[in-house]
Chains A and B, each alone.
Chain A
Amino acid sequence: MSTTDPYSAQERETTEGTVYTVTGGDWDELLDSVSTDEHDDRIVINMGPQHPSTHGVLRLVLELEGETVTQARSVIGYLHTGIEKNCEYRTWTQGVTFVTRMDYLAPLFNEAAYCLGVEKLLDVEVPRRAQLIRVLLMEINRIGSHLVCLATGGMELGALTGMTAGFREREEVLHLLEYLTGLRMNHAFIRPGGLAQDLPEDWKEKVLDFVKVMKSRLPDYDNLLTGQPIWKQRLEGVGYLPVDGCLALGATGPILRSAGLAWDLRKIEPYSSYEEFEFEVPTATEADCYARYRLRVAEIHESLKIIEQACAKIEPGSVMVEDRKIAWPAQLSIGSDGMGNSLEHVRKIMGQSMESLIHHFKLVTEGFHVPPGQVYSTVESPRGELGYHLVSDGGTRPVRVHVRDPSFVNLQTMPAMSEGGMVADVIAAVASIDPVMGGVDR
């Protein structure tokens, strides 16, 4: 063993026993140094939080007997940001900027669920155009999120072409969202009462071009992964969780639907005029990783259907509530120095109307008052039920913003899916849960 190699296997003694640090490629050295009679019963392996196969900064603690996992536990909190606490020190509008950063692969779902809650507290209904644009954006976002799940899931299982293909298509999603909202991620585009601004003029052509591109490329996934024997063997019968296990552990989204229950909040509790759209809720009964993979691909196809319908439905109109006590005082526009308040609005508040200036100042600095009470608003995010519990005491800031993030809840199913299986199947199970650590840890 070369002692100068800093990456070679190291060992040290602790009260719990000998601890080895393994970096990969040095298994032979490790096996040489582990005497079989001393370690015959069990070995505890710590994976992560910095590991390419744990789907983010997730730490897995696995107790192994040979290759079999006897106990699995996940350790979270490495990406805790205190967003919920921070929201209590900002206005209701500023909260959007925070919540969009939680589940960073589904920012528009966070914004929409939060805004639906604030609007329920305010008892306002956003204009139809804004509702439909929200649907359009959420479905584009759903495609992007599912593509990342396929891509990273493929990478974690060694299907690297799946990763490059998935991220290539996701780039199309991000380009489109950047064109529509101004930002690739963390959009803060959906605001309480409507949208931050209207879509650019030629949005429809861009969206339909995107649909065309996606329709031409999605069959590649069937060629690359769906029927591929290695992919099937890695996923079929792995990570099994039947419907009673899902309900007990609170799993929703593709995990629940892969166990046969067609539970989709877009159908069950329609919000943002989803009741007008025609789409299927794909389900499977195998309740394994392969079923979840197939459901995600099928959901991308359904999202494309919804996007096409939304394009046909969206008509000109306002994208913000009429109530001037809630609506942001200025529509943004692009000037010579970038995006900002429209010149017309600046002229009005600076030159013509003192009252408008006061109004603008108070709404922007102080925010609007939200009547006291509490609501729980939900949307169907790509990972399941995303719920926001919002509490107001009548002020301009929330008393409490609690997020029921589906990744957080679904990750609890990891031990049920992987205990008793092979250590390599843990990776497949975690990939099929698709936890986003920004949402898990918040």
Chain B
Amino acid sequence: MTEPTGTSKDDQEPTGGTQSSAEESGAAQAEHRAAGGTEPEAGEVEQTPDPTGIAAAPEGGTRLAPTRERSGMFGVRGSGDTSGFGGLRLPGYAPAPAERPYGGWFDELADELAEAFDRRGIARSAVRQITIDRGEITFYVEPQRILEVCRALRDEPDLRFELCSSVSGVDYTAPDGAEVDQPLHVVYHLLSMTWRRRIRLEVALDPADPHVPSVVSVYPTADWHERETWDMFGVVFDGHPALTRILMPDDWQGHPQRKDYPLGGIPVEYKGAEIPPPDERRAYS
């Protein structure tokens, strides 16, 4: 963190700054930092993706697909053009793979996880990618391996993630219709009370076939979380004891938190002007 009196953006140009660097891919971010950009936080690791770096990570893996491209209009940054019609196209954001050393307890954890995988006969490729961002570590896991990975994380004495804080979904479908590979994600937040660590597991699914094994047999608390994720995102948790809707009525059609599901609402008249419903108002981002 920076000093309490200021922020990291104090010395930045109003139209540029750290935000634009974070918009870009990891490589561009590294260049930006090499050119005197903001330093990473203490205790964290600067992420410079590089093919050998990925291979050096014990789990290996492939880059995740970028989410959505961002372009022009009022979100334009990094150029002197403030007219809003720059036609600038920014690449979509994809979480950058972390490179060794991760810093802090992240290295220890990754090593212990890799050893646990070996002991339990889980392929190391079960973890596609490790991302460290803002002091939080994310393991991108192969969907079919999530149950074994969770069991290893809970039972191994060096890992001991006793508590599953939350399971939920994220729909990364781009609002502008850009192609996003496997946009439907399920996110697991695990907490180790023994070691006082938090990690995040994430699996990416294809909306046409959103199947992932249920972790209820390892974490009974995931029961309602998975039901909610089914209800809201239509993710099918195979092996769940009773995968039914939980918040929406039983006979509801559709999965409301998907991005293609409309928010709904009616226009409201206020002092003679008609205000459109929230999802039809002008969006700036």
Contact = CB atoms under 8 A, between A and B. Distances in A.
A402 B232 CA distance: 11
B284 A250 contact: no
A408 B74 CA distance: 39
Interface stretch (A118-126, A226-234, A289-297): A118-126
Interface in B39-90: 41, 67-68, 70, 74-75, 77
Interface string B136-166: 1010000000000000000000000011111
Interface string B194-225: 00101010000000000000000001110111
Interface stretch (B16-24, B106-114, B121-129): B16-24
B100 interface: no
Contacts of B247: 76-77, 80, 441-442
Contacts, number: 175
A250 B6 contact: no
A77 B249 contact: yes
Nearest to A413: B221
A125 B224 contact: no
B134 interface: yes
Given A323-B9, A409-B224, A372 B172 contact: no
Interface string A104-128: 0000000000000000111111111
Nearest to A74: B224
Contacts of A391: 170
Nearest to A90: B278
B221 A249 contact: yes
A397 B285 contact: yes
Interface string B1-37: 1111111111000100111001100000000000000
A412 B225 CA distance: 10
A396 B134 contact: no
Contacts of A252: 163
Contact of A84 (B6, B163, B257): B257
Contacts of A4: none
B171 interface: yes
Interface string A213-244: 00000000000000000000000000000000
A431 B161 CA distance: 29
A389 interface: yes
A266 B18 CA distance: 31
Judged by DSSP, the binding face of B is loop
Interface residues of B, number: 67
Given A80-B248, A85-B256, A90-B278, A373 B164 contact: no
Interface in A135-155: none
A45 B17 CA distance: 61
Residue of B7, B18, B220 contacting most chain A CB atoms (<10 Å):
B7
B219 A77 contact: no
Given A376-B136, A389-B187, A248 B221 contact: yes
B129 to A, nearest CB: 14
A370 B285 CA distance: 10
A372 B285 contact: no
B182 interface: no
B221 A124 contact: no
A317 to B, nearest CB: 9
Nearest to B279: A89
Nearest to A252: B163
B238 to A, nearest CB: 21
A168 interface: no
Most buried by A among B75, B95, B133, B134: B134
A366 B138 CA distance: 30
B275 interface: no
A265 B50 CA distance: 37
Contacts of B138: 374
A399 B285 contact: no
A389 B74 contact: no
A35 interface: no
Nearest to A409: B221
A263 B187 contact: no
Nearest to A79: B247
A323 B221 contact: no
Contact of A408 (B68, B136, B220, B224): B224
B19 A369 contact: yes
A400 B171 CA distance: 8
Nearest to A73: B242
A385 interface: yes
A48 interface: no
A308 interface: no
A385 B165 CA distance: 8
Contacts of B268: none
Interface of B: 1-10, 14, 17-19, 22-23, 41, 67-68, 70, 74-75, 77, 93, 95, 133-136, 138, 162-166, 168-172, 187, 189, 193, 196, 198, 200, 219-221, 223-225, 232, 245-249, 256-257, 263, 278-279, 281, 283-285
15 contacts: A89-B263, A123-B2, A125-B7, A126-B4, A248-B221, A250-B220, A325-B17, A367-B285, A373-B95, A376-B198, A387-B189, A394-B19, A395-B284, A402-B166, A412-B224
A-B residue pairs, 6 tightest by C-beta: A395-B285, A250-B221, A371-B22, A404-B166, A372-B93, A366-B284
Given A250-B164, A399-B172, 19 more contacts: A77-B245, A80-B247, A84-B257, A122-B7, A123-B7, A127-B4, A250-B219, A323-B10, A325-B14, A362-B74, A372-B23, A372-B93, A376-B166, A387-B165, A389-B189, A394-B23, A394-B285, A402-B169, A404-B168
